[in-house]
Every structure is written in structure tokens, then in C-alpha cells.
Structure 1
Amino acid sequence: MGETVEQQLAAWVKQQLSQEQAVTLQALSGDAGFRRYFRVSNSQPPLMAVYAPPTTENSELYLAVSQMLASGSVRVPQVQAVDLQRGFLLVEDCGDQLLLSALNPDSVDAFYHQAMDMLVALQAVAVPEGALPHYDGQRLWDEMALFPTWFVQGLLDQPWGRNEQTLLDECFDWLVVSALEQPQALVHRDFHARNLMLHSHSQPAGELVTIDFQDAVTGPITYDLVSLLRDCYIRWQPAQVEKWALAYRKKLIQKGRQAGVSDQQFIQWFDLMGLQRHIKVLGIFARLFLRDGKAGYLHDLPLVLHYTLTV
């Protein structure tokens, strides 16, 4: 009987570390699609081994985005070694603390300003022509099309006729126009408190690190901002969210970036970008439950629906 993928990965890690003793991998739970993560025991510095099946995961793009972000002083897990053919990666272990678990009314303002400073740096990263897909009108539309298919018809089992589709088409057109008229920059595409970590092993501890950026594109400047401030997993008061959004606009202006002609225009971009994202997320969360059996996302639907109905 041949070796399992985990055994092959452990042997590869041992080879990369040039050590004689066997390597022990501790499997980590998580919702990372087809990727599997393992903590490497007793490694110095702390490391994680990753199996990203080449048939489903684009590790080459992950590495390219990682290098782009690091070149722009955006803190990401450092990659120590890689075998693209087998889908093996050896990366820095940043610990277990997601930003989400550290957020409370007393801490959130400081943490969000820290995250927004990271986002300012991320959006300043130069993207070589053709290196990343564009968040174009077709991509934005296709994402929103998940909503009637998976949420309305699939999850709610509601009829969907021509009149409803016509009305939704007009709404989608409006949202796409708003997104495309914004200044364009690198977009993480899932920039929120579950994809930001407080580094457990940094000196000093608590350095902010972003993860799960392999789906990055170039697109609207408010996309990642609304992902952070109208997070699908935690809610803050609308007045505070608007205050943060305008503080971010001020950060952009201070860096000489384009950020709309007025606060009103920027907030409109922000609101409509959030509506596009949350319409998409309603479809994605419904699909994760119906197709993939991930019922946990149903608990997050009420907040996403709230965001969608209150714009």
C-alpha cells in the first residue's frame, strides 16, 4: 500500500528542514475548501505544512499574490518552501488567533484603523499587467446571479419569474456601473476579521497578518473596505461604520490617491459595493449549505440579509 498524502507531506517537510528525526504533523480543522493545513511539531521557527491539491488549488497564483503583497509591506505568512507539482507548501505558522475573536467595543476602533492602514498599503501594490484577473462587469454580474439560483429558488424554494428577473437585472446593472466607475486597485476579495490574524509568535506579539488572498483581483477601491466594515460575521453600528469608511477615504487622500470627489460619492460607492457583495454572499452561503453540506453558514445569513435590506 502506498503512502498517504499526509505521509508524503511529512517526508517532504523533513527533507526541507534537513533533520534526521521524523516530522510529526498535527492536522488543523478549518473551512479552507480543498486545502489541508498541518502544524509542524517542534519546528523553529514555528511552521505549517499545507496540502493544496493541484487539481483544485492554484498555488502558483497564491505564491504570486503573496510576493506582490509582501513587496508592498503587507504582512502575509512567509513561504519557506514549495513543491507545486505535488501541491506541498511549508509556510510560517502565525498561530491561532483570528482578529474576529479579539474584537469588542473597546478594541475595535484601534484594530480597524490598523486593518485599514494595511488595506491602504495593499491597494498601493503595483500589479503587473495581466498578473491578476479584473473584477469586470461580467464577473460582478456572475457573482450576483448566484442569489436567485441558490438563495431564492434553492434555499427559500420561491418561484422566480420574468418580472422578478427583469427587476433584478436593472438592479445588477446599477451596481455594476457603480463598481466600475470607482478607482481600481488590488482587491484581496475576502478582507475581513476571519482572514486577519494576530500573529502569536511575532515580536512583539499581535502583529496583524492577512491570509486567504489567493482569489485576489484588480477592482473597486471600496470592495475590501466594505468586506471589513460590514463583515458578514460581526456587526457594528451604522454611524460608526460610516465614520470608519470616511476615515479610510481620508487616509487615501493623505496618500495622494483617488477617493471620489466628495464624502457623499465615496459613501454611495461603499454602500452599493456592499450591496453587490452581500447579494453574492447570500447565494454563496446558500450554495455552501445545499451543495456542500456546510450548515454553519446558515447562522450567518440573517446578518447578511440585514445588510442587504438596509442599504
Structure 2
Amino acid sequence: MINSRKTQLTDWVNQQLRQLLSEPSISVDLTTVSGDASFRRYFRAEIAQQTFIAVDAPPENENSELFVEVAGYLREAGVKSPEVLAKNYDKGFLLLEDFGDSLYLPRLLSLQAGGLDAISEYQVESLYKSAISALIKIQTNVNKERLAPYDREKLRSEMQLFEDWFCGEYLKLKLTDGDRELIANTFSFLEDAVLGQTQVAVHRDYHSRNLLILDEGRFPKDAGPGIIDFQDAMAGAYSYDLVSLLRDCYIRWSPELVEMLALHYYQLACEAGLIEGVSISQFLRDFDLAGLQRNFKVMGIFSRLCIRDNKPQYLADIPEVTQYFLEVACKYEEMAPFLDWFETNVLLNAKAKLNLES
């Protein structure tokens, strides 16, 4: 079935390129670029020194119409999302502008591995500040009313993945009624904290694997990052994308650098009128608590990807997420009862299982 879809996609891409480039004899093969945590697959088509991205997004699993809509909102907001060159919603096929392969993550890992001197630290900060500037544009210019609300039901369903998939399916914990009540109360606290924040357009996966360094030969030097994987955007908490970016599941930075960059965002957001009346202390609390909600979600999703979708590579990133969770949760007395339970009932089991499977 997968090979059949690739054949269909190849035929469709050739039809579109013949029309787009006015070349009736075009015949290209597709090379795999990547898959991601969803059912989408990405391929590259190359013809006459031009490249394009072909997307296979099975319509029973993926919403290509929403992808195209959000891509348009982002481009209207002045940030770089790929132009949609052709689409077939019935088949789940898209042809996109190609931003290349220079993801933030490998560049950041390379800079980090070399040891941060003044030059490399400046380069790291520049990449993040560029991403933060793009985030401010999204939050300022994308009308959140065009997006579905990141409401209590959605927040709870995401955190429930922690209980169902991380604790249940992955760790095989036998939760008592008291355990479930404690978990539910903790979820309610975080829902209240996130819903109480200023609501803006939220990418929901704004991190180093979804941002690209654009080729200065093709794009203006100040274009900012190329932004991908945005189709799940919703209207939610202003701090959500920021904490996704700075407390990234895939790369860790010192608390000092994270706070410096967070405060850089705070200054820009205040200047843009996004968070009027929010003190620095309240901002840092908002940032922390949105991060905890995301940590619950990610522990659950990564477990589900391993068990249900046969993608065990995501388990390698769970320890980083739990470490973020422990470092932040201990700062808030409202989290103390859950943290005690987590350290006693979950953490040792998780460490033993993850070490065994790694």
C-alpha cells in the first residue's frame, strides 16, 4: 500500500511539474526526505537545478486542507512557511516549496558539541532570537479566531496520554483510585494555569526539528527560519511555543541561557502589546507551567509512538523530558503532592525500563 501511494504520488507530481514548468516531457523520481511523528511522508523532486517537496498525507489520517490554510496564515503574517504549489485533497497529496535540509537541530548540536565560546554562543543566540522574532510575528499577525481553541478538553486529552500510555501501556503501572484522583487534580491545576494566559495563535510544535536555516542565496538574509509541521496550530497560551522552543525535547541548554532568551521574548512581546500588564515573575511562571503541561503530553506521545506506531527511537528523548519536568515541578508547591508520587511510583520504574531498552 505504501509503495502504491508513492507510485501514485510520483505520477501526480510529474503532472503538476509539467504544468508548473511548462515542460511536457518532465519525468522525475522522488527521493525520501523524512517521515515524522505523524502518518505524513516527505519526498524531494529535483529537476533542472530546482527542487520541490512532495507530501504524502493519507486523507484518512491527515488534514491537508488545514495544512494549506495554516501555511497561508503564516505567510500572511510575514514568516516563512513553504508555498503550496499544488494540492489534491482527495488523495492527500501536496507539492511544496523546498526549504532545504538545514534544520536547526543538527546545527545547534554541532555548536554545542564544539563547546560554547564567544563566537558559537553568539551563533546559538542568533538562531534562537531569529526564531523568537518569527514567533512574535505569528502571535501578532495571525488571527487566533481562525484557529480551533486549545481548550480544556484538548489540554486534558493531551495530558491523559501520560496516564494511559506512559504509566499504563509503557510502564504497566497499576494505578489506584487515589493515584488517578491525584493525577486529575494536577491536570486541572495546569489547565487553569494555561487557560488563564493571554491566548494567541500557537504552532504547537515550535522546536529545533521544525525550524530550518534558509539558504541566503535563495532567501533574504533577514527572512528568519523556515517553519514547517504547523498544521496542528490552535489558539492557545502565549508561552506555549516559547517553552517548546527553549526547553526542547531534543537539545538542552543551561538554565541561564534559557532564561536570557525567554526574557528576550518577554521584552519583544511587551513592546508588541501581546502581554500588557504581565510581570516578569508571572511570565516565568506562565512559561514554566505551560512547559509542564507539554511534558505530560510528550511523555505520553513518545510512549504511544513506540508502542502503537513502532517508532521506538522516540524513547531516547523521554529522559530529557522527565528531567525538565523534575527541575520545574519542584519550584511550585501546587505540584508537590504529585511530584512526591511521581518520584516514588514512576521515576524508578521509568529509569529501569528506559535503561534496559536502551
Please indicate the TM-score interval, normalised by the length of the shorter structure.
Answer: over 0.9
Q: How does 1:218-237 map to 2 (within 5 A)?
A: 218-237=235-254
Give the structure 2 partner of residue 31 of structure 1.
Answer: 36
Q: How does 1:86-97 map to 2 (within 5 A)?
A: 86-97=91-102
Give the structure 2 partner of residue 210 of structure 1.
Answer: 227
Give the structure 2 partner of residue 161 of structure 1.
Answer: 176
**Cα RMSD after superposing both structures:** 1.8
Structure 1 residue 9 corresponds to structure 2 residue 9: yes
8 A contact 2:151–2:195 mirrored in 1: yes
8 A contact 2:67–2:231 mirrored in 1: yes
SS in 2 for 1:46: strand
Q: Structure 2: any 5+ residue segments left out of the alignment?
A: 329-358
**1:238-261, CA deviations, whole angstroms, 9 ceiling, x for partnerless residues?**
122112111111101111222552
Match of 1:238 among 255, 268, 288: 255
Structure 1 residue 118 corresponds to structure 2 residue 144: no
> What is the rounded CA distance, in whole Å, between the counterparts of 2:276 and 2:207 in structure 1?
21
> What is the rounded CA distance, in whole Å, between the counterparts of 1:249 and 1:30 in structure 2?
34
> What is the rounded CA distance, in whole Å, between the counterparts of 2:275 and 2:131 in structure 1?
19
> What is the rounded CA distance, in whole Å, between the counterparts of 1:245 and 1:21 in structure 2?
48
> What is the rounded CA distance, in whole Å, between the counterparts of 1:233 and 1:79 in structure 2?
28
Give the structure 2 partner of residue 301 of structure 1.
Answer: 318
SS in 2 for 1:287: helix
SS in 2 for 1:235: coil
Q: How does 1:117-266 map to 2 (within 5 A)?
A: 117-127=133-143, 129=145, 131-200=146-215, 202-203=218-219, 208-266=225-283
Give the structure 1 partner of residue 295 of structure 2.
Answer: 278
SS in 2 for 1:86: coil
Give the structure 2 partner of residue 40 of structure 1.
Answer: 45
Shift of 1:126: 3.3
> What is the rounded CA distance, in whole Å, between the counterparts of 1:128 and 1:188 in structure 2?
11
8 A contact 1:185–1:219 mirrored in 2: yes
Q: Structure 1: any 5+ residue segments left out of the alignment?
A: none
Aligned AA (2:281): Q
Match of 1:21 among 3, 26, 51: 26
> What is the rounded CA distance, in whole Å, between the counterparts of 2:150 and 2:219 in structure 1?
37
Change in Cα spacing, 1:259 to 1:168, as seen in structure 2 (3 Å) is farther
> What is the rounded CA distance, in whole Å, between the counterparts of 1:177 and 1:95 in structure 2?
40
> What is the rounded CA distance, in whole Å, between the counterparts of 1:218 and 1:58 in structure 2?
17
Change in Cα spacing, 1:11 to 1:293, as seen in structure 2 (3 Å) is closer
Change in Cα spacing, 1:43 to 1:182, as seen in structure 2 (3 Å) is farther
Count of residues paired in the alignment: 308
**1:187-246, CA deviations, whole angstroms, 9 ceiling, x for partnerless residues?**
000000000011246245795101000000000000000000000000011122112111
Aligned AA (1:298): L
Aligned AA (1:113): K
> What is the rounded CA distance, in whole Å, between the counterparts of 1:85 and 1:196 in structure 2?
28
Change in Cα spacing, 1:277 to 1:32, as seen in structure 2 (3 Å) is closer
SS in 1 for 2:213: strand
Aligned AA (1:162): D
SS in 2 for 1:169: helix
TM-score (norm: length of structure 2): 0.82
**1:90-121, CA deviations, whole angstroms, 9 ceiling, x for partnerless residues?**
11111111101111342211111010001000
8 A contact 1:182–1:260 mirrored in 2: no
Give the structure 2 partner of residue 63 of structure 1.
Answer: 68
Change in Cα spacing, 1:226 to 1:128, as seen in structure 2 (3 Å) is closer
**Greater CA deviation, 294-303 or 162-171?**
162-171
Shift of 1:11: 2.5
Match of 1:72 among 74, 77, 87: 77
| Structure 1 segments of 4+ aligned residues over 4 angstroms from their partners | 204-207
Give the structure 1 partner of residue 336 of structure 2.
Answer: none
